[in-house]
Amino acid sequence: MPAHLLREVENLKKDILRLGAMAEQAVRDAALAIESRDEALARRVIENDITLDEMEVQVEESCLKILALYQPVATDLRFIIAVLKINNDLERVGDLAVNVAERAAFLATQPPVDISFGFQEMAAKAQDLLKRSLDALVSFNAEIAHEVCAGDDEIDAMNRQVYLIIEEAIHAHPEQTQSLVHTLSVSRHLERIADHATNIAEDVIYMIDGSIVRHKAEEYKPHPADVNLPLQ
């Protein structure tokens, strides 16, 4: 690899990891804002999104510059393509963290909903999948990436369970419908964050060995009977 290309690739690695850390922090803070009913923290997550967006643009411009100037091939080309896709997923994770924060800011102003939804566990699971997908990227570890892909079914099941709980709660407590709908939105956003973590893991697998696995979920996802439903 030419020295100039090597330097550009190393800088790109640092930038995508910095963006990943920012997205991970946004998710962590948004989940904490829900848990602690902290409106100020929720507002900070919303305000900080502009910095994350700026970093996303910077990473994309760096990828396009490398493609135009150096015309990388083989492993280097796969890395640039993967970073372009991961960059987009991380930006979407930041947007979803903002969505969670917006729900948190609203719920902090409302009377608490006295129903257990298991959001702490769901949020922890979503954060873990995101963290491990980024760990797989840092370490070029396809095994960790496959584990992330396999773990997505669990949070999907948790989201379905939350839907059933909230549907029942709306019938039992119609006066709290607005708060319950916002709570359901939080669940959906956490599920989507896990989906983007899975996308990142799939791109890491492509980056490492050139395999496109996004249409081969049956190869790494557990049978439905093996998926735990922690909220039951």
Residue ranges covered by each domain of the chain: 3-226
Report the candidate in 223, 214, 230 with the shortest Cα–Cα distance to residue 146: 214
Instruction: For residue 66, give the 3-state DSSP assignment.
Output: helix
Report the candidate in 152, 160, 149, 154 with the shortest Cα–Cα distance to residue 219: 149
DSSP 104: H
Token pair belonging to 224: 């439905």
pTM over 0.85: yes
Task: Supply φ then ψ for residue 67, to 5 degrees.
Answer: -60, -40
Q: How far apart are CA 5 and CA 72, in angstroms?
A: 8
Indicate the CATH number for domain 3-226: 1.20.58.220
Q: What is the residue type of 43? A: R
Burial category of 77 from C-beta neighbours within 10 Å (exposed 0-12, middle 13-18, buried 19 and up): middle
Q: How far apart are CA 202 and CA 214, in angstroms?
A: 6
Q: What is the residue type of 26? A: A
Q: Per-residue pLDDT tens for 108-130?
A: 999 988 777 788 899 999 999 99
Instruction: Output the tens digit of pLDDT for each of the chain's 232 residues.
Output: 678 888 999 999 999 999 999 999 999 999 999 999 999 999 999 999 999 999 999 999 999 999 999 988 888 899 999 999 999 999 999 999 999 999 999 999 999 887 777 888 999 999 999 999 999 998 999 999 999 999 999 999 999 999 999 999 999 999 999 999 999 999 999 999 999 999 999 999 998 988 877 766 555 554 444 444 433 3
Q: Per-residue pLDDT tens for 186-223?
A: 999 999 999 999 999 999 999 898 887 776 655 555 44
Cα 113 to chain center, whole Å? 26
Q: How far apart are CA 31 and CA 124, in angstroms?
A: 8
Q: How far apart are CA 191 and CA 123, in angstroms?
A: 9
Output 218-226 pairs: Cβ under 8 A, ≥24 positions apart. Answer: 220/146, 220/149, 220/150, 221/149, 221/150, 221/152, 221/153, 222/150, 222/153, 224/153
